[in-house]
């Protein structure tokens, strides 16, 4: 960006296929743009944020009688690249004199391809160090639902010591760093705790060298009723829990909810995952409120994934499943309601996955999670449709469509 003070900068979140009800959800908030907005405002620039098409009703009001000098477009997943390209094209047509910059995940993982495909003027790789010092400017998203979120997104660290092949974190954030404290203070602003609900966007929270002191700070804030709960969006590294078992109780006292551990590899890791879950249960978590993160449509085939699913059923824990896409996958037109091929979305044939198996596994996980949450012994589609999956409605009679989570299910 030009060093000239007082330039007008438009921040753009493309029209990603995010349901309207999830626009301000903790998993989709454009926190990177909000930090950049706070930074640019502090340096004398005039900043506005739009989300989606420039002709959307809210955006028309925001953009009325205002012409930006710079347009900064964020990118999320590489497989949503077409939405970034479309946004660049729309705002290029509307503001032909503006300098258009693309940043974010897609831009950072595939900068050359991003520049050529979107035809933007500049590509920014990685995080903006200047913006990292600022608290996100939540006022920028107020026009989109009339209010700001009731939660705060926190980055206590950047980077991850793990170099998993399926993850782009260590590529986007190659220089790990962490805060010394989370307690309110004057500087830097982004470490101030201003909300009672905290969502940590750290990629490996437990890997922070001073994690014990940070958890103690959170526990203190919770005891003082300054926070009510915390959540780690990326879950917890169970291997670090096993190295430091006391962390489980500290996580609980700090108020973390929706706790997840990852089961990335094969069924042979069953004893290790069981130990991780047991530590969390011993710390006071109920088993049905724990999650095991599992990657499917990857190197581990359907049959083994089913064994892992059934093991989670034995533990009565939920599964947070994630369909694998390569980091260089630039499209994804997955549709669970129709038969598809690799021309529509990525199918990991090397792991013997097919479209039918991908959808079957996802369906099995969904059904199992329902019965785990509700404490039932089986799933019934007819009962779910009729009266909220309550076996009592069947008056003790097991319905014909009862689905047993304790056995392996292949394609119907």
Mean pLDDT of all residues in 186-210:
77
> What pLDDT score was predicted for residue 334?
96
Query: What would you report as the CA-atom Rg of the chain, rounded to the nearest whole angstrom?
Result: 23
Distance (Å, whole) CA 172 – CA 225:
36
For the sheet with 318-323, list strands across it. 260-262, 291-296, 318-323
* 82 assigned to some structural domain: yes
> What pLDDT score was predicted for residue 143?
86
Confidence of residue 89 (pLDDT cuts 50, 70, 90): very high
In a 3-state reduction of DSSP, which class is residue 268?
Answer: helix
* 56 assigned to some structural domain: yes
Q: Tens of pLDDT along 124-179?
A: 998 888 888 888 898 998 888 766 788 888 888 776 666 666 665 656 665 667 77
| CB contact at 8 A, 210 and 178 | yes
Lowest mean pLDDT among 74-88, 173-187, 350-364: 173-187
What proportion of the chain, given as a percentage, has pLDDT over 70? 86
> What pLDDT score was predicted for residue 390?
59
Question: Given a cut of 70, is residue 213 above it in pLDDT?
Answer: yes
Q: Tens of pLDDT along 62-74?
A: 999 999 999 999 9
* 411 assigned to some structural domain: no
* 201 assigned to some structural domain: no
* 223 assigned to some structural domain: no
Q: Could you tell me which residue, 395 or 49, shows the higher pLDDT?
A: 49
Look up the CATH number of the domain holding residue 47: 3.40.50.280
- pTM equals 0.87
Q: Which domain holds residue 54?
A: 1-147
How many other CB atoms are found less than 10 A from the CB of residue 94? 15
Mean pLDDT of all residues in 30-48:
93
* 294 assigned to some structural domain: no
* 35 assigned to some structural domain: yes
| CB contact at 8 A, 156 and 179 | yes
Question: Given a cut of 50, is residue 189 above it in pLDDT?
Answer: no
Structure tokens at 107: 């831009």
Question: Given a cut of 80, is residue 411 above it in pLDDT?
Answer: no
> What pLDDT score was predicted for residue 21?
59
Q: How far is CA 402 from its chain centroid?
A: 33
Residue 163's nearest CA partner among 151, 173, 154, 153 is 173
| CB contact at 8 A, 283 and 271 | no
Residue 78's nearest CA partner among 110, 51, 101 is 110
Mean pLDDT of all residues in 7-26:
82
Q: Tens of pLDDT along 320-359?
A: 999 999 999 999 999 999 999 999 999 999 999 999 999 9
> What pLDDT score was predicted for residue 195?
85
Q: Could you tell me which residue, 18 or 88, shows the higher pLDDT?
A: 88
Distance (Å, whole) CA 236 – CA 238:
6
Residue 265's nearest CA partner among 374, 351, 185, 357 is 351
Number of domains in the chain: 1
Question: Given a cut of 90, is residue 389 above it in pLDDT?
Answer: no
| CB contact at 8 A, 325 and 295 | no
Mean pLDDT of all residues in 196-218:
91
* 109 assigned to some structural domain: yes
| CB contact at 8 A, 361 and 304 | no
Task: For 233-324, list the strands marked E by DSSP.
Answer: 260-262, 291-296, 318-323
> What pLDDT score was predicted for residue 187?
39
């Amino acid at each position: 960006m030009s060093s000239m003070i007082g330039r007008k900068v438009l921040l753009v979140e493309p029209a990603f296929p995010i349901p309207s009800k999830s626009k301000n959800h903790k998993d989709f908030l454009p926190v990177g743009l909000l930090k950049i907005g706070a930074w640019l405002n502090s340096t004398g620039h005039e900043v506005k944020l739009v989300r989606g098409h420039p002709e959307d009703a809210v955006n028309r009001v925001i953009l009325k009688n205002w012409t930006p000098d710079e347009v900064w477009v964020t990118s999320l997943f590489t497989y949503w690249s077409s939405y970034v390209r479309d946004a660049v094209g729309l705002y290029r047509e509307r503001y032909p004199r503006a300098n258009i910059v693309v940043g974010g995940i897609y831009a950072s993982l595939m900068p050359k391809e991003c520049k050529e495909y979107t035809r933007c003027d500049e590509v920014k790789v990685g995080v903006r160090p200047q913006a990292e010092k600022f608290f996100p400017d939540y006022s920028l998203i107020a026009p989109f639902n009339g209010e700001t979120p009731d939660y705060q997104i926190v980055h206590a660290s950047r980077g991850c010591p793990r170099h998993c092949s399926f993850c782009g974190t260590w590529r986007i954030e190659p220089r790990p760093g962490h805060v010394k404290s989370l307690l309110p203070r004057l500087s830097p602003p982004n470490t101030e705790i201003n909300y009672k609900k905290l969502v940590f966007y750290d990629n490996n929270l437990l890997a922070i060298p001073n994690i014990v002191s940070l958890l103690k700070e959170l526990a203190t804030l919770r005891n003082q009723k300054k926070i009510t709960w915390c959540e780690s969006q990326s879950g917890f590294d169970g291997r670090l829990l096993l190295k430091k078992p006391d962390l489980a109780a500290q996580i609980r006292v700090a108020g973390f909810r929706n706790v997840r551990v990852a089961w990335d590899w094969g069924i042979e890791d069953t004893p290790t995952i069981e130990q991780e879950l047991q530590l969390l249960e011993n710390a006071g978590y109920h088993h049905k409120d724990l999650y095991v993160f599992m990657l499917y449509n990857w190197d581990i085939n359907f049959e083994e994934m089913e064994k892992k699913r059934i093991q989670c059923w034995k533990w009565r824990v939920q599964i947070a499943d994630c369909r694998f896409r390569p980091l260089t996958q630039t499209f994804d037109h997955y549709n669970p309601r129709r038969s598809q091929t690799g021309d529509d979305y990525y199918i990991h044939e090397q792991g013997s996955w097919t479209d039918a198996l991908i959808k079957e596994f996802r369906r099995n996980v969904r059904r199992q999670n329902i019965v785990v949450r509700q404490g039932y012994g089986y799933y019934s589609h007819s009962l779910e449709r009729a009266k909220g999956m309550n076996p009592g409605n069947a008056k003790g009679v097991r319905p014909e469509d009862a689905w047993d989570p304790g056995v392996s299910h292949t394609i119907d």
